[in-house]
Amino acid sequence: MSDDGPDRRKFLKLATCGIGGAVGAAIALPALSLVVHPSRTQTVTTPRDPLDVGPAGGVSQGWTKIDVVAPEVRDAWTTARDVVLGAAYVRMKAGKPEALSAVCPHLGCPVGYDGKTFLCPCHDSRFGDGGETVGAGPAKRGLDPLPIEVVDGRLRLTWVRYKLDIPTREPA
Ligand code: FES
């Protein structure tokens, strides 16, 4: 005669469920974390520190367009070197460097400069010599100033991308 009482059967049932659940969780959790992993982490790393954009002596009092190049950009799988992040206009004013992003704050087209006025070819926004909006273009703010300084005779510029088509400057 078997002595399988209700308590033993109940225990075996619970133990089976517990062990099965633990094995299932051990398999499912790593698989689930693999699926959702990129959604919560920063997968592309662009430099937030100042970038060397050339000798300070090469910049005049008039706006000069320069490429902003990151020595290294990483994503989840690769590392790219010497990546052009964008362009900026730089000049010296009263012995201090100034920089404006060449990204149109309307929808992000590259802005040109004709010696007096910045002009966006996409929707005809115009900006004065200090980057302020002029005319009736759709841009809701002026060109974005970028932090720049001279260190040991070299220009060090911090590249910032701002949200587009809003009147305030909020980093993107
Ligand atoms: S993107 Fe420059 S005016 Fe629209």
Tell me the per-residue pLDDT of 55-83, one tens digit each, with 9 for 90 and over: 998 899 999 999 999 998 888 788 899 99
- The yes-or-no verdict on residue 3 having pLDDT over 60 is no
Q: Encoding tokens for residue 57?
A: 């002596």
- The yes-or-no verdict on residue 2 having pLDDT over 60 is no
Cβ of residue 88 lying under 6 Å from some atom of ligand 1: no
Q: Encoding tokens for residue 143?
A: 């060109």
Quote the percentage of the chain above a pLDDT of 90: 64
Do 61 and 91 form a contact (C-beta atoms < 8 A)?
A: yes
* Shortest-distance atom of ligand 1 to CA 107: 1
By alpha-carbon position, which residue is closest to atom 1 of ligand 1? 107
Q: Encoding tokens for residue 94?
A: 């009263």
By alpha-carbon position, which residue is closest to atom 3 of ligand 1? 123
